[in-house]
Structure 1
Amino acid sequence: MSTKTDKIDRLGELTAAKQDEHGVSLWTEAFRRVRRNPTALVGIAILVIFVLVAIIGPWVAPYSPTDFIGKGEVRSGQGIIPGPSAEHWLGYDHQGRDELSRLLVGARQTLLVGIISTLIGLTIGALVGGIAGAAAGLGGRVGRAVDSVLMRIVDMLLALPSLLLAVSIAALLGASLTTVMIAVGVVSVPIFARLLRGAMVAQANSDYVLAATSLGVKRTKIAIGHILPNSLAPVIVQATLTLATAIIEAAALSFLGLGNPDSATPEWGLMLAEAQRFLDIRPGLAIYPALGIIITALGFTLLGEAMREALDPKLRK
């Protein structure tokens, strides 16, 4: 009797496990893999801290980031910039402003630059790639012509070095924080366009597309309702990775003097650019924002790589 009961229980467990196995979607399974990945957890922890600092930074900053509270103590022309103290944990900057307060408030600007520039690249790139992918998947002379024209434009953008393209756009539009966002966003457009177009062309050869076509479903509906949603996974992963490069490229443009010319608004790239003149006096002024940029970019990269492994069957462990 006991053996029979054990068999029934075992059969129930196997049945439940089988149901769970068949009932898990791609994104649910990917989430489980990411949750078990130590690399992803480290990346998530870094990003959570960064986002929290960006949100609450202006409220927890001990001083106003624009007040010259140490102006009487700082003489940058004479090589005197006081360092960390009990009242000012990271010391003053070259104009007598509290460095810790500027770092905390600057995190929000850095996050906004990364997110908005990535959204610009993702939106335009997905639009171009989606049209090209749908045109290539639909076939026909017109579809192939549209795909060819769009991809040649994308190839021209890809042929230019990303930083050179960003610098050219920023120089044409003039130095400002908005210019940095646009320039960095445009640089990532061809990456998203190529990626989405390739994923849609690969999906167009799938069995479910053939089955839907055999049933008489319109090709436009197949492309928009089925091929496009199934092609978004690699694009979302790339968006996470692009956030890391966007923050670094935005900092590079600010370092080159093409960012926000108003130093009253703290931003890590701008702070790094201003600190280069005082490396021999206070190297910490460059080290603090540089570490913030590096660690934040590392967090996005770790999460993006973990998501790529979780969503790509060839890379799953």
Structure 2
Amino acid sequence: MSTKTDKIDRLAELTASRETTTGNSLWVEAMRRLRRSKMALIGGVIIGAFVLLAILGPWIAPYDPTDTHTWRGEVLTNQNIFVGPRAENWLGLDHLARDEFSRMLIGARQTLLVGIVATLLGFTVGALIGGASGAALTLGGAAGKRFDTVVMRFIDMMLALPSLLLAVSIAAVLGQSLTTVMIAVGVVQVPIFARLLRGAMLAQGGSDYVLAAQSLGVRKRRIALGHVLPNSLSPVIVQSTLSLATAIIEAAALSYLGLGNPDASEPEWGVMLAQAQGYFDSAPMLAVYPALGIIITALGFTLLGEAMREALDPKLRS
């Protein structure tokens, strides 16, 4: 857990420096470096292509992804006869004679939906918890410190658990459904956002503008909620990009384990990967396609998130 919390705390500290040596704001300088980053460019292109395909999937998919009748006689799984890529089926047919290309396109939308909803859930709940804890410390007083201690010990307990194990446990309790996957993955993200925002607010607590506001007699509540909190959101925004990559992988893992959408006919990359497992010897590409989709998409969000983190880090400025 120490490595995980160290990374979170380090990202939170990056907001403590609001001005660069050139006098530009932190975000202006960060965006300038992002535009020069090849890692950010590659990540942005991957994410843009993924989002575009997910949005346009239903319109550009050549066939109904659930159609099992058109090419039914061409796929004979009991005889290990499968249909590979050809002119009318760019990625071939799956084990039920459904067009694999159409299923990949439609599956991208469901994968994106699960990742975004889960991340938004974790962001919202985590920000509420972390903001309340950070505000309690900023406001000061024994009650605020006790509140922060209780909340952070609970958050540390959640961080100590392996994220996938926690997500599987939650999904198993709630039952099989797409909503369950979103909730399970979102809950796993909560302690990360909570600790990150709380750490960023503590880093901002000693800034010059806070001391100036205190010397002018501004109420602590207004300082904490009106100034410290808005200025502490930078690392949380960066983390949301990285969390999207994790959410996509964990959602696919839950679907692979049979905890996702109970309707197996609906295309989703994790479900497609699980269905292809039994035919890996005869048709390995049925597993390769969704696996590559998951890997490349997660890579895109990771590259962009890491580029944003490095752009915000004053130690890495050239």
How does the TM-score come out when normalised to structure 1? Answer: 0.91
Q: Deviations over 1:10-52 (max 9, x none)?
A: xxxxxxxxxxx97743322221111111110011111111111
Q: How does 1:254-293 map to 2 (within 5 A)?
A: 254-293=255-294
Stretches (4+) displaced over 3 A: 21-25
Amino acid in structure 2 at the alignment position of 1:268 = W
Amino acid in structure 2 at the alignment position of 1:57 = G
Q: Structure 2: how far apart are the matches of 1:316 and 1:249?
A: 33
Q: Structure 2: how far apart are the matches of 1:288 and 1:191?
A: 31
Instruction: Choose 1 or 2 for highest CA Rg.
Output: 1
Q: Deviations over 1:154-198 (max 9, x none)?
A: 112112111110000000111111111110000010011011111
Q: Structure 1: how far apart are the matches of 2:25 and 2:34?
A: 14
- Match of residue 181 from structure 1: 182
- Match of residue 203 from structure 1: 204
Give the drift of 1:316.
2.6
RCO comparison, higher one (Cα < 8 Å, 6+): 2
Amino acid in structure 2 at the alignment position of 1:224 = L
- Match of residue 27 from structure 1: 27
Q: Structure 1: how far apart are the matches of 2:157 and 2:53?
A: 39
Q: Deviations over 1:76-104 (max 9, x none)?
A: 12222211111111111111100000001
- Match of residue 60 from structure 2: 60
Q: Structure 2: how far apart are the matches of 1:54 and 1:98?
A: 17
Q: Structure 2: how far apart are the matches of 1:113 and 1:129?
A: 23
Q: Structure 2: how far apart are the matches of 1:28 and 1:141?
A: 38
Q: Structure 2: how far apart are the matches of 1:197 and 1:314?
A: 22
Q: How does 1:129-140 map to 2 (within 5 A)?
A: 129-140=130-141
**Which stretch shifts more, 131-140 or 26-35?**
26-35
Q: Structure 2: how far apart are the matches of 1:25 and 1:316?
A: 13
Q: Structure 2: how far apart are the matches of 1:186 and 1:315?
A: 32
Q: How does 1:6-17 map to 2 (within 5 A)?
A: none
Give the drift of 1:148.
1.0
Q: Structure 2: how far apart are the matches of 1:288 and 1:175?
A: 24
Q: Structure 2: how far apart are the matches of 1:188 and 1:315?
A: 27
Q: Deviations over 1:200-229 (max 9, x none)?
A: 111112222111111110001000111111
Amino acid in structure 2 at the alignment position of 1:189 = V
Q: Structure 1: how far apart are the matches of 2:317 and 2:286?
A: 42
Q: Structure 1: how far apart are the matches of 2:212 and 2:104?
A: 56
Segments of 5+ residues of structure 1 without an aligned counterpart are 1-20
Q: Deviations over 1:255-286 (max 9, x none)?
A: 11111121221111111111111101100000
Segments of 5+ residues of structure 2 without an aligned counterpart are 1-20
Give secondary structure in 2 for the equivalent of 1:290. helix
Q: Structure 1: how far apart are the matches of 2:317 and 2:169?
A: 40
- Match of residue 47 from structure 1: 47
- Match of residue 37 from structure 1: 37
Give secondary structure in 2 for the equivalent of 1:222. helix
- Match of residue 80 from structure 1: 81
| CA RMSD between the two structures | 1.3
Q: Structure 1: how far apart are the matches of 2:210 and 2:165?
A: 41
Give secondary structure in 2 for the equivalent of 1:72. helix
Amino acid in structure 1 at the alignment position of 2:104 = L
Q: Structure 2: how far apart are the matches of 1:200 and 1:48?
A: 32
Give secondary structure in 1 for the equivalent of 2:65. coil
Q: Structure 2: how far apart are the matches of 1:45 and 1:285?
A: 25
**Which stretch shifts more, 204-213 or 57-66?**
204-213
Q: Structure 1 residues 189 and 308 mapped into 2: Cα distance closer, same or farther (>3 Å)?
A: same
- Match of residue 248 from structure 1: 249
Give secondary structure in 2 for the equivalent of 1:314. helix
How does the TM-score come out when normalised to structure 2? Answer: 0.91
